[in-house]
Chain A
């Protein structure tokens, strides 16, 4: 069966949904193909077993998987399966499961090469657009998708076209004030963390219910600004947008200069075709590159839109890591203990004091620190107690005592560090012709490598966060900055740029090679900034949607 549309979008997350929303509202017929299933708010329960322990919203690894190559110290490559790089296979994509820590990239993030120069062993380049170009779209996301927060003065506050966020901060936990005080004593500028969560009913959605289980879980009210509740539901209401769930796209067909059809398998394994004037690829960075590489044809023997050879190259993640400290009730007043036992409210504090810094006379691009409570899931919190300080398993009375202390007589505050993952020749996606998924399609093969500078910067930031935890009176403070990639913070693989020989996409995220194929997920990013990516993905997708709309209206 062949479906016809004006626009066919592959992927329904933060990269695809703004295009669907914009063009459906403008009257164009849009078909969105999503590999995962369709869920609504009634399906999102706080079920730790199904969601977190059995990964209900990601594919079963025996059916769909990735192969991963890592390099040892001598440069020897080891290939293995078993890693889980899936993030949320469902309508709305992984935005359903995000925590929604939203920060804009800053002006120098758009010109990392010009501002900080070359980094040996890294492929740092400037973006072909600047912050001023993206700023109206960051604002659009605040207003249309929904971002809450409060602007305060801090050393790296970016320019804005509006004075403040359209929604005030979500309900804040008393510990936010403790962090403010700790930072103030250290001379740091704590700022309320902008959140992709609306605090009260707005935008035809319900406000946050403060369920205490937010990140990793779907939102039962629609307050979380994920792609489905914020954009796709509204696109469907125009009667111009059709979402086809459980549709795995396995090939994009093309002639020499334009894409001509896409083919997908439905839940039962039957193949279907969609033909459109314009095709949008937004399957998340790794899968978008995989699909292009698997769509090779006589015109593009090395992969669709890959005349540059750049498809899959310069894969990046968010570098950094996390750390934690425990606030023990024995050191606190009864009032402080009662405050800490409050559940549901958000910590909502960040630091960007070292977004850029100098060390040993050299300027460094730094990053962002977010503070939050330890995730409320009970099972990992309990498992965290089973080893003693020597790394030996414990049980019986000792374990019981530690469990009671962990759950009832203390609370863990954690921090996350976000800094640039240097793009390099050693971090990329290809396809593995020897390993196939349940549809008999070659799986993505990911080569992982973290540049030494990523760790250096991450550790610099972590030291600052540790000082804040010490100021709070935390015990058992630890930090873990590593080159392990966070699978939910992935970008690159289809860089945008002005030179067709060294980039896959043009400045408007259209492939250089094909006049009607765009890529609007995080693949376009040549560098990632020192913030989580989702706000920038939304903003860029709105920007590209405007360019496509302009093109359609002008019949170009």
Chain B
């Protein structure tokens, strides 16, 4: 069933990147933010989640997990494009508001920008989606390569169920 917050994701596509490949057996990839998309995601997650629990976010393989998401064929191509497009829209808004890239904003400028876009339909929907994949990184089984050494589980004292997966099933 469509999540009530997914309604906007199919409209206004811009800057669609080409997505190729299938999910690797090891889901997450290297933590290196190799493109602008991943640099923006890394900066965004750092801002949203590093304020008080920074030690968790820094130990998760966030960028690598998002690379896995963008190559995951179980996620529709539209959803993956939407994730990428949001980084473009975020950066465009930063340029409009502050005349510089999101990556160059100060902490307070990022905070004000995120507050602003979170009040817009696309911003609310896109940020919710990003947060969902961040939580996937933090709470997925370590075999997916994001939740390294179960640091996300330890963060909130979460007990996983058993038996745990011994391979990436998707």
Contacts and interface: CB of A to CB of B under 8 A. Distances in A.
A378 B135 contact: yes
Residue picked from A45, A46, A82, most chain B C-beta under 10 Å: A45
Interface stretch (B33-41, B84-92, B138-146): B138-146
B108 to A, nearest CB: 12
A46 B162 contact: yes
16 contacts: A45-B163, A46-B165, A49-B27, A49-B144, A55-B74, A211-B163, A212-B159, A378-B156, A392-B118, A395-B49, A395-B131, A396-B47, A400-B51, A400-B52, A400-B53, A407-B157
Contact of B170 (A44, A49, A407): A49
A343 B162 CA distance: 12
Given A54-B170, A392-B118, A209 B159 contact: no
Contacts of B163: 44-46, 211, 220
Interface class of chain B by DSSP: loop
B161 A407 contact: no
Interface in B71-106: 72, 74-76
B143 to A, nearest CB: 8
Contact of B118 (A220, A343, A383, A393): A393
A408 B157 contact: yes
B137 to A, nearest CB: 10
A211 B170 contact: no
A407 B15 CA distance: 39
A115 to B, nearest CB: 34
Interface string B151-170: 00100111111111110111
Contact of A47 (B51, B118, B169): B169
A332 interface: no
Given A45-B169, A400-B52, A343 B159 contact: yes
B139 A62 contact: no
B114 interface: yes
A54 B72 contact: yes
B118 to A, nearest CB: 4
A393 B128 contact: yes
Contacts of A433: none
A53 interface: yes
B74 A60 contact: yes
Interface in A479-538: 484, 487
B74 A54 contact: yes
Nearest to A382: B135
A300 interface: no
A125 interface: no
Interface in B117-154: 118-119, 124, 127-128, 131-132, 135-136, 138-141, 144, 153
Contacts of A45: 163-166, 169
Given A46-B161, A220-B163, 5 more contacts: A212-B159, A217-B161, A379-B132, A379-B135, A487-B1
The 4 A-B residue pairs with the shortest CB-CB distance, nearest first, are A46-B161, A213-B161, A378-B139, A407-B156
Contacts of A54: 72, 74-75, 170
B2 interface: yes
Interface string A362-380: 0000000000000010110
A386 interface: yes
Residue picked from B47, B74, B138, B164, most chain A C-beta under 10 Å: B74
A64 to B, nearest CB: 14
A156 interface: no
Interface string A393-407: 101110111011001
A50 B74 CA distance: 9
Nearest to A408: B157
Interface of A: 44-50, 53-56, 60-62, 82-84, 209, 211-213, 217, 220, 343, 376, 378-379, 382-383, 386, 392-393, 395-397, 399-401, 403-404, 407-408, 484, 487
B88 to A, nearest CB: 20
A400 B141 CA distance: 21
A460 to B, nearest CB: 26
B131 A386 contact: yes
Contacts of B140: 48-49
A54 B75 CA distance: 7
Contacts of A61: 76
Nearest to B153: A378
B128 A386 contact: yes
B27 to A, nearest CB: 8
B6 to A, nearest CB: 8
A46 B160 contact: yes
B159 A50 contact: no
Contacts of B160: 46
B43 interface: no
Contacts of A84: 1
B113 interface: no
A19 B140 CA distance: 39
Nearest to A400: B52
Residue picked from A83, A220, A378, A407, most chain B C-beta under 10 Å: A378
B159 A397 contact: no
Contacts of A55: 74
A55 B79 CA distance: 15
Contacts of A53: 136
A83 B1 contact: yes
A7 B138 CA distance: 49
A376 B139 CA distance: 12
A386 B159 CA distance: 21
Contacts of A83: 1-2
A77 to B, nearest CB: 18
B151 to A, nearest CB: 13
A175 to B, nearest CB: 17
A50 B141 CA distance: 10
Nearest to A51: B169
A82 B156 contact: no
A395 B132 CA distance: 12
Given A83-B2, A212-B159, A407-B157, A47 B136 contact: no
B161 A376 contact: yes
